Structure 1
Amino acid sequence: MKQVFAGFRDFISKGNAIELAVGVVIGSAFTGLVNALVEKLIMPLIAAIFGKPDFDSVGNFTINGADFSVGAVITAIVNFLLIALALYFCIVLPFNKLREFQVKHSAKKPEAPEDPRTELDVLKEIQEALQAQNGTTGSGTHAQK
């Protein structure tokens, strides 16, 4: 029994499970936001233009007592497209612009090119400069390049 609880604790404490839970909660809250946007703003706009907020009465027919509603399918397709448009323009597009802005302004400045000289080269240059300042010339292997 202890192993079962330990396994459950390990599962819950993993980042994936917690991120999934947060995603579900955010998704649920987001659903309310999108539904309100579509039902309270976009559908009334359609009703103002076409006289009805949906197309449920378009193309209805009955065959042998079975009712068919082409308009209900059209309404579902329009609702899907409206929700997709609302998501894209109100959430995805601004989020992508914000991400681009953050990446653009947080980019590291280019580093200065690395000096190709070695420490020995620098020391030789210092030695030559000191010798030139003192008016002496180098002798032996230390002054050779």
Structure 2
Amino acid sequence: MLKEFQEFISKGNVMDLAVGVIIGGAFGLIVNSLVGDIIMPIVGAIFGGFDFSNYFLPLSSSVTADTLAEAKKQGAVFAYGNFITVVINFIILAFIIFMMVKGVNNMRRRLVAEKAAEPAAPAPDVVLLTEIRDLLASRK
């Protein structure tokens, strides 16, 4: 079992996946900051200065707080403003990933097109047969 685990870990795909997860986590933090610190304040200023993250509906009568953090301490709340923020995070992240995948696909297409445009070198056996043909033709 230990040997199988070592083989699994030593495969390149597993390491690529690990790097991708780590970079994705860091990238997620950047997107969260972009949405929370830049986009949402601008949206709030445009729509009258409100903060989406503090929009909630109390689900019990004991909740009387004005901020989401305080309301969660008092009881159950329906935090739809926080959900809107998370959805915006997701849309931005999905769009950025889409653009990255689109760029990689375009690069691959260009590489394939360049490779197809280059004349392929003849196989070694074809070169040898051509040389034999030329030698036989020169003896006549």
Q: Same fold by TM (over 0.5)?
A: yes
Q: Which has the higher contact order (CA 8 A, sep 6+)?
A: 2
- Give % identity: 31
Amino acid at match of 2:103: L
Alpha-carbon spacing, 1:40–1:57, altered in 2? closer, same or farther (3 Å): closer
Choose 1 or 2 for highest CA Rg. Answer: 1
> Is the 8 Å Cα contact of residues 37 and 86 (structure 1) preserved in structure 2?
no
Q: TM-score of the superposition, structure 1-length normalised?
A: 0.55
> Is the 8 Å Cα contact of residues 55 and 82 (structure 2) preserved in structure 1?
no
CA RMSD of aligned residues (A): 3.4
Alpha-carbon spacing, 1:21–1:40, altered in 2? closer, same or farther (3 Å): same
Q: 2:91 aligns with which of 85, 89, 93?
A: 85
Structure 2 unpaired stretches of 5+: 64-73, 120-140
Range 57-66 or range 97-106, more displaced: 57-66
1:109 and 2:117 aligned? yes
Count residues in correspondence.
108
Alpha-carbon spacing, 1:38–1:110, altered in 2? closer, same or farther (3 Å): same
Range 15-24 or range 101-110, more displaced: 101-110
> Is the 8 Å Cα contact of residues 57 and 69 (structure 1) preserved in structure 2?
no
Structure 1 residue 110: deviation in Å?
A: 9.2
Q: Matched residues in 1 for 2:106 and 2:4: separation?
A: 42
Structure 1 residue 48: deviation in Å?
A: 1.0
Tell me which residue corresponds to 1:56: 54
Q: Matched residues in 2 for 1:105 and 1:99: separation?
A: 10
Q: 1:26 aligns with which of 23, 28, 37?
A: 23
Q: TM-score of the superposition, structure 2-length normalised?
A: 0.57
SS of equivalent residue, structure 1 residue 63:
coil
> Is the 8 Å Cα contact of residues 60 and 75 (structure 2) preserved in structure 1?
yes
Structure 1 unpaired stretches of 5+: 112-145
Tell me which residue corresponds to 1:98: 103
Alpha-carbon spacing, 1:68–1:13, altered in 2? closer, same or farther (3 Å): closer
Q: 2:35 aligns with which of 35, 38, 62?
A: 38
Amino acid at match of 1:24: V
1:17 and 2:25 aligned? no
Structure 1 residue 78: deviation in Å?
A: 0.8
